[in-house]
Structure 1
Amino acid sequence: MPLEKFDGLELSAPSDFHVHLRDGEMMRLVTPTIRQGGNNIVFVMPNLVPPITTVQRALDYQKQLQSIEPAVKYLMSLYLHPDVTPEVIREAKKAGIAGVKSYPAGVTTNSSSGVVDYEQFYPVFKAMEEEDMILNLHGESPSGPDITVLNAEEAFLPTLLDLHKRFPNLRIILEHCTTAAAIEAVKECGDNVAATITAHHLYLTVDDWAGDAFCFCKPVAKLPKDKRAILKIAVSGNPKFFFGSDSAPHPVEAKHGGASGKGKIAAGVFTQPYTTPYVVDALERACEKRLLSEDQVTKEKLEGFLGGFGRAFYKVSDDRQERMVLKKQKTIVAESIRAESGNLEVVNFRKGEELGWTVASSSYKLPTKSR
């Protein structure tokens, strides 16, 4: 079997640079699964309701998360909004806020307060450039006469390139790339423009989510050629590309159109309890299908993609210096995770399916039984 060379391999603990932890009961349910996936540093999305637009609210949210799972470093963000001014940016930098997340209005979950016109935020971007803060872009254009979910990312790329040209020293991350075109655009930019890649996009194409609510996310998975490009860049060793799961939990009923079953299906794939095994399993499957060669997947490239490159871009260190061990061990993905109250259930990506890998260390271990 491909990648057997990784059985027993010890790596630095991974980091996940794009997570949705929500709030309330959902927050209490999903936050402990960060460790199950192998991660000890995460970059937290601010698209709560209402969105996080003040430094104090971001810090309060961080304290809530730390009280649930203190063995994780939470990098916090603000939601790009008219309330976020250059003065707020300077305050955020002093408080240790890592970035500002931009959502084009209406493109995904809790994005109704998102950006309509980027020009109004040029003074904010200038302040971010001066303060060395990161702009995290959800890179899709809103649907319109000639824009659908299939070309929304590619339609956004001129905006990325324009922002990079106007603010050449601004650190920018194009989040959750799904197309070969997006990867090429990021490669064309300077070293201060990077991108995240999810675990689920290493598996999926349009055929997988068409008709399967639990594979439906924004941005949607695209064509086979796009998946091939994503797999190749993940093992390229290019430090501009690193892991961000975009793990997005929704109540099971929201993935079925709400309580009535007649509403829209929520966009989001929940991968957090198995992030590292998903990535290694996807790479192994790609080797089996000859989309990748085993020689392309090295320890150094895997370790960089799973955290090293991202930590360098975010200029953050792993204070705990934790280690993770990969194990070649069959693991059945649990059907779901449930709150103790019984009122909340979140279905895992690839529920009930077999993964070929698990992770372990002295301080965390993946669940191995389905229910």
Structure 2
Amino acid sequence: MILKIRRPDDFHVHLRDGAMLRQVARHTASQFARALVMPNVPPIDTGPQAERLKSEIFQHVSPSSFTPLMAIRLTAKTTPETIQEAKRCGVVAAKVYPQGVTTGSHGGVTIDQLQQMGAVFATMQDVGMVLCWHGEFPGPGWLSAEQRMLPEIRKVVDDFPRLKQVLEHISTREGVEWVRRCPDTVAGTITVHHLFLTLDDLGGRGQFGRGGMLQPHYFYAPIAKEDSDRQTLTEAAIEPSGKFFLGTDSAPHPIDRKFNVDAGCCAAGVFSAPVAMAALATKFEALNALDRLEDFTSAHGARFYGLPLNEGSMVLEKQVWVVPGTVAGMVPFLAGEELGWKVADVEIASR
């Protein structure tokens, strides 16, 4: 069985820089026509910094086959002029990272500082730049952090009704329902891993658990939640509203950061880029929704961001295979697990 879809987009990816960028960029560029590059590692706070990272990306992938969509990080130093300059540099989005909630968020903003960013948000609204949110409230209470952040985001939604905003990597039922209630200027990205895993899997006790042992490669932020949350996310991924689309949040880390014995800790993030589309086809088939895969991966996000639909295509083949234990020296998402679909071919449209 063959499934041919429009070439997909990834509206949330971490490509890193330096040696890591060289290792991982091709795994995104070989499948996705475009990807929104997250600005936390390395920290990208201005348009010129985004331009430099884009140039570095093109040292490893061809601009004829892949378009990195650049974003900047909002900080206490961001001004309306910062936004205007970034727009001139081709930046399409700016990201709020509440301080302390994820990798590279130490330079983000506090909740109090958010209240002082009205001029920045107004400028984003005027120039047509999308506001992306890492939607977790900082501090204790990790499992409810997303729910507690939603009222803060709603204030910005109400104050800036023309500003497009995205709740990134939704992880809870409440997050999905909140996006559904918001106006059409608000959308949400859904990761591959949140469609598969629950907190039990992280703890080694779920479908993908292994003998009750903690699974470092299933640790990411926002953390996996309950099965009821996962079920709601799958319903959102296949619904035709256009408010939900793919953002893989593929976030690679070297193995020694996922198993940091010396420090006794584990970095948050999964490297899902190599298996994202195969895993999604497997999941959507299980949901009897293969006909909705193209909308989720190739249409809803592009339309929300005001981008033309890709002209290239991807061919997926129904074929059982086992995800390898390592890819590019890192452990990919679902390593050692069977998937029912495989990417067979990618046709790149001429530019």
Question: TM-score w.r.t. structure 2 length?
Answer: 0.92
Gaps in structure 1 of 5+ consecutive residues? 1-6, 288-293, 339-344, 365-371
Match of 2:321 in 1: 331
Cα distance in structure 2, aligned partners of 1:110 and 1:263: 19
Cα distance in structure 2, aligned partners of 1:83 and 1:162: 21
Q: Does 1:118 align with 2:150?
A: no
Q: Does 1:356 align with 2:332?
A: no
Match of 2:330 in 1: 346
Shift in Å, 1:35: 3.5
3-state SS of 1:68 partner:
coil
Cα distance in structure 2, aligned partners of 1:171 and 1:362: 31
Deviations 1:27-55 (A, max 9, x none): 1000010144x211100001124x11111
Match of 1:134 in 2: 130
Question: TM-score w.r.t. structure 1 length?
Answer: 0.87
What is the aligned counterpart of 2:189 among 176, 196, 200? 196
What is the aligned counterpart of 1:161 among 154, 158, 163? 154
Identical counterparts, % of pairs: 38
Cα distance in structure 2, aligned partners of 1:152 and 1:208: 20
3-state SS of 2:11 partner:
strand
Match of 1:28 in 2: 22
Cα distance in structure 2, aligned partners of 1:318 and 1:347: 32
Cα distance in structure 1, aligned partners of 2:87 and 2:29: 27
Change (3 A) 1:283 1:57: same
Deviations 1:195-222 (A, max 9, x none): 0000011101110112111001000111
Within a 5 Å distance, the mapping from 1:307-322 to structure 2 comes to 307-318=298-309, 321-322=311-312
Would the aligned equivalents of 1:41 and 1:318 in 2 still touch at CA under 8 Å?
no
Q: Does 1:92 align with 2:86?
A: yes
Match of 1:76 in 2: 70
Shift in Å, 1:318: 4.7
Match of 2:285 in 1: 284
Cα distance in structure 1, aligned partners of 2:337 and 2:190: 22
Q: Does 1:66 align with 2:58?
A: yes
Match of 1:342 in 2: none
The AA in structure 2 aligned to 1:65 is I
The AA in structure 1 aligned to 2:279 is Y
Would the aligned equivalents of 1:35 and 1:273 in 2 still touch at CA under 8 Å?
no
Cα distance in structure 2, aligned partners of 1:75 and 1:237: 25
Deviations 1:227-286 (A, max 9, x none): 110001111112010000000000111111x251x432101011001111111212334x
Match of 1:108 in 2: 102
Cα distance in structure 1, aligned partners of 2:340 and 2:72: 37
3-state SS of 1:346 partner:
coil
Gaps in structure 2 of 5+ consecutive residues? 204-213
Would the aligned equivalents of 1:77 and 1:100 in 2 still touch at CA under 8 Å?
yes
Would the aligned equivalents of 1:134 and 1:171 in 2 still touch at CA under 8 Å?
yes
Deviations 1:11-70 (A, max 9, x none): 10011000000011101000010144x211100001124x11111110010011122111
Q: How many residues in Structure 1 have an aligned counterpart in Structure 2?
A: 334
What is the aligned counterpart of 2:174 among 155, 172, 181? 181
Match of 1:45 in 2: 38
Cα distance in structure 1, aligned partners of 2:100 and 2:264: 16
Cα distance in structure 1, aligned partners of 2:201 and 2:267: 16
The AA in structure 2 aligned to 1:254 is R
- Please give the root-mean-square deviation of Cα atoms over the aligned residues, in Å: 1.4
The answer to which structure, 1 or 2, has the higher relative contact order (CA under 8 A, 6+ apart) is 1
Cα distance in structure 2, aligned partners of 1:252 and 1:347: 7
Deviations 1:69-109 (A, max 9, x none): 11211000001112321011112122211100110100011
Shift in Å, 1:326: 1.7
What is the aligned counterpart of 1:56 among 48, 57, 81? 48
